[in-house]
Amino acid sequence: MLAVLAALPPVAVLALVFLLPALESSTLLGLFVPGETAVLVGGVVAHLGGLPLWAVIVVAAAGACLGDQVGYLLGRRYGPAVLARAPAVARRHLDLDRARRLVATRGAAAVVIGRWVAVLRVLVPLFSGASGMSRSTFGWANVAGGSVWATTVVLLGYLGSASYRYLEHELGIGTHVLLALLVVGALLALWRHHRRRRPTGPAR
């Protein structure tokens, strides 16, 4: 997998690192494909020597900030009604009340906080614009949140690639073992989720 990523043209990787975060809020793409996907890949490619780390961070931050700025302007002009563009199956999973409350209670901080949750990353810019938040307030919060988010996610990809290569080459743990660990982790998460949802019997 890492060899495949390393073989991608650097320009194509940078384009994805910019476009996916940029399209998250501006086109509601984030309801289907989280922007972290491309940004993490950019961090991996940077570790493999295909791109400068600083370039991946700058491009990811630029895409994230631009996309949220467009989402804010859409919310300012059309309000939450712009969400009608999303398919019905996606709208059923939108936590509109949570996003609305976050913007109403946290203001500019909601722009920074919401960036770390995929669905909120789509909704918060829209509700920020619809709520009447000033452009300057949203602007500085957007730049701060987008820059920190981009730097963190790129570094996670960079360091995760380093850890993977160490495990694979130094400890002899291959891709199939790592995949098995991921499957076991997913099954445990599903089991815990099922237990939490199971109704508790009456106390005796």
pLDDT digits (tens, 9 = 90+) for 167-190: 444 444 444 454 555 566 667 766
Helices and strands in the chain, H and E counts: 10, 0
Residue 118: both structure tokens together: 């995929």
pLDDT digits (tens, 9 = 90+) for 22-58: 998 877 777 777 788 888 888 888 888 888 999 999 9
- Low-confidence winner among 13-22, 36-45, 144-153 (lowest mean pLDDT): 36-45
Asked if residue 80 lies in contact with residue 158, where contact means CB atoms within 8 angstroms, the answer is no
* DSSP letters spanning 127-152: HHHHTT--HHHHHHHHHHHHHHHHHH
**Cα 160 off chain centre by:** 16
Nearest to 156 by CA among 11, 4, 44: 44
Q: What is the pLDDT averaged over residues 90-100?
A: 69
Asked if residue 38 lies in contact with residue 16, where contact means CB atoms within 8 angstroms, the answer is yes
Q: Which residue has the higher pLDDT, 6 or 22?
A: 22
**Cα 31 off chain centre by:** 10
- Given CA atoms 177, 179, 185, 190 in this order, what sign does their dihedral have? negative
| Location of structure tokens 């302007």 | 73
Q: Global pTM?
A: 0.73
Asked if residue 165 lies in contact with residue 2, where contact means CB atoms within 8 angstroms, the answer is yes
